[in-house]
Amino acid sequence: MKVEFLKSVYQLKDLPPITENRKEVVFVGRSNVGKSSLLNLLTGRNIAKVGKTPGRTRAINYFKWDYNELKSFLVDLPGYGFAKGDKREIENWKRLIEGYFNRRRENIGLVLVLIDAKVGPTGDDKKMIQWLDYLGIPYIVVLTKIDKAKQKEISSTLKKLKELGVETLVQTSSKEKKGKEQLLKVIWNYLKEEPNKTNS
């Protein structure tokens, strides 16, 4: 497995050229849900900075990722909800994220919608899931921080997600390193359907 940081994108015009032989695996979720921690768990390296303050990731961060013969980009999106009360920041986030999904739609292999196992799906999470359904973009839900949630809370979260029509779900804990192999297997199953050339 090889992974390296490619670039941070603050404006849509700076998105890297679409590469047909590299599909994009996208990490999305509310602020402080654990996107950076999951990215580090998945790759086995501390390539994403983990901050205690929600909203550390303000840009779209691209990483080049080779996993066995699969070649892809890992794309870490800014968390939603980090700029409550700041209308300009919210508009900037909305424009950046909507623009990203609209422009990269055909090149996205899979979206990982991260949801805190203890908190459950928020209103923003529900909107994201509905939007991905509308756009026809493949996604799975990844429950994070299961080590911090009681079984009753996890069961409640699973019930709410089932009501939203969520079919594929992986439970993870970056702290206890749980769910990595299952998540890699799910990503593999989605991406292997796409042609991956070896000449990048």
- CA-to-CA distance for 125 and 129, rounded, in angstroms? 6
- CA-to-CA distance for 3 and 134, rounded, in angstroms? 31
Helix residue ranges per DSSP H, the chain = 35-43, 87-104, 123-135, 151-163, 180-191
The pTM of the full predicted model, rounded to 2 decimals, is 0.91
Backbone angles phi, psi at 43, to 5 degrees: -90, -15
Span 140-168, pLDDT tens digits: 999 999 999 999 999 999 999 999 999 89
Question: Which one-letter amino acid corresponds to residue 188?
Answer: W
The architecture CATH gives domain 2-191: 3-Layer(aba) Sandwich (3.40)
Domain range summary for the chain, segments of one domain joined by +: 2-191
Span 8-54, pLDDT tens digits: 999 999 999 998 889 999 999 998 899 999 999 999 999 887 654 44
